[in-house]
């Protein structure tokens, strides 16, 4: 079910399958915007929750919109803030109207509703906007998941009514339902009836494990329109991406490349490399001499280990660069293999490289 595509937007094309670098607060952490684009990233993600709290959507709009504010003239997708309200905000009070909450930053009170979420995304000027939804925690009962899913569907209708995007902007629906197939069925059917430019699968990668996540994708994706983009929110590891592409997912986002970069973990064709490990202290080899990324190709493991242990800012910058480069190289390899009708072979070779690991020197 792996598929090759392109989303044409006024600010540029998005080649799919695509991995979106996460720029939650109008920045991809430890990276320059030009660096991110030069790696092959066609689109980045910003977040309604974080940007409404700091610096404020109205302020971003007054400064020319999110693209100008963060010096990224290419497509931007904004998440609606629903997941962050669940995971970060304090003293939440959920009603059909929306969510009242206290900021995790300074305790100030806020109200986020479908209408306010769409207003904020409109002020930011993002190219792809997401409906406001509720992400049910895992585990949760069928009754609680059903209530959450129905609330999200109500909010989906209101989000579409409030969406004021121009002809070059898009609005995506989000399939919810936790790990219950009947709820996923109902959510997908209703969202298709409402009608959106693309469809995300939400409420996964929240602790249920890969096996259940893939089971939900196997069940849900055949129900979604084949001519609309499919976005798996918050995923994930390189292996998650391979498995999800095989099932028909087109778009991904995850903080993992930059978060791991800040904690000394590099992703490579040899698997994950923990650069804080003492075995790298005297290793003159680069992470990968064949990489297109200068950080992976030109700096020694010994130097990267030194930066990590010394807690130097440059460690996060270099290792985040390495990781985002690897993710984009992985996506480029996926797209090429689909175009050449050899995706399964590519996936197996990639997994084999990870399985061999990174103990011995590589030729």
User: Which tokens is 227 given?
Assistant: 């001519």
User: Which tokens is 192 given?
Assistant: 């298709």
> Residue 357: left (phi > 0), alpha (psi -120 to 50), or beta?
left
Beta carbons of 118 and 164 less than 8 angstroms apart: yes
User: Which domains occur in the chain, in start order?
Assistant: 5-254 (3.20.20.105), 260-354 (no CATH)
| Per-position DSSP letters for 96-139, written without gaps between them | SS-EEEE-TTT--EEEE-HHHHHHHHHHHT-SEEE-------SS
Evaluate if pTM is beyond 0.95.
yes
Tell me the C-alpha distance between 145 and 123, whole Å.
32
Residues annotated as part of the active site: 79, 253
Residue 160 pLDDT: 98
Low-confidence spans in the chain with pLDDT less than 70: 359-363
Residue 85 pLDDT: 86
Residue 360 pLDDT: 57
Residue 361 pLDDT: 56
Residues 6+ apart with CB under 8 A from 76: 23, 43, 44, 45, 46, 66, 67, 124, 125, 126, 127, 128
Beta carbons of 321 and 35 less than 8 angstroms apart: yes
């Amino acid at each position: 079910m792996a598929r090759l595509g392109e989303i044409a937007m006024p600010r540029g094309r998005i080649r799919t399958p695509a991995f979106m670098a996460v720029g939650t607060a109008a920045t991809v952490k430890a990276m320059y915007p030009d660096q991110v684009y030069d790696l092959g990233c066609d689109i980045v993600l910003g977040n309604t929750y974080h940007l409404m709290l700091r610096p404020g959507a109205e302020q971003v709009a007054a400064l020319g919109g999110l693209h100008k504010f963060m010096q990224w003239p290419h497509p931007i997708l904004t998440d609606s803030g629903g997941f962050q309200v669940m995971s970060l905000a304090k003293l939440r009070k959920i009603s059909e109207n929306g969510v009242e909450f206290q900021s995790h930053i300074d305790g100030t009170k806020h109200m986020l509703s479908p209408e306010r979420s769409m207003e904020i995304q409109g002020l930011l000027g993002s190219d792809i906007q997401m409906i406001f939804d509720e992400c049910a925690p895992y585990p949760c009962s069928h009754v609680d998941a059903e209530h959450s899913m129905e609330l999200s569907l109500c909010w989906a209708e209101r989000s579409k009514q409030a969406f004021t995007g121009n002809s070059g902007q898009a609005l995506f629906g989000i399939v919810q339902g936790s790990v219950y197939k009947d709820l996923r069925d109902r959510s997908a059917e209703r969202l298709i009836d409402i009608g959106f430019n693309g469809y995300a699968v939400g409420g996964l990668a929240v602790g249920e494990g890969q096996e259940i996540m893939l089971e939900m994708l196997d069940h849900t994706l055949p129900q979604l329109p084949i001519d609309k983009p499919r976005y798996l929110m918050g995923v994930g590891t390189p292996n998650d991406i391979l498995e999800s592409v095989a099932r028909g997912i087109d778009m991904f986002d995850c903080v993992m490349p930059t978060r791991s970069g800040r904690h000394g973990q590099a992703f490579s064709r040899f698997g994950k490399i923990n650069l804080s490990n003492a075995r790298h202290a005297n290793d003159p080899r680069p992470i990968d001499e064949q990489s297109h990324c200068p950080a992976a190709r030109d700096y020694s493991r010994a130097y990267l280990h030194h930066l990590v242990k010394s807690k130097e800012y440059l460690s996060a910058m270099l290792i985040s660069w390495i990781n985002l480069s690897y993710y984009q190289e992985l996506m480029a390899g996926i797209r090429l293999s689909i175009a050449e009708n050899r995706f399964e072979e590519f996936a197996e070779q990639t997994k084999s490289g990870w399985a061999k690991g990174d103990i011995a020197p590589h030729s």
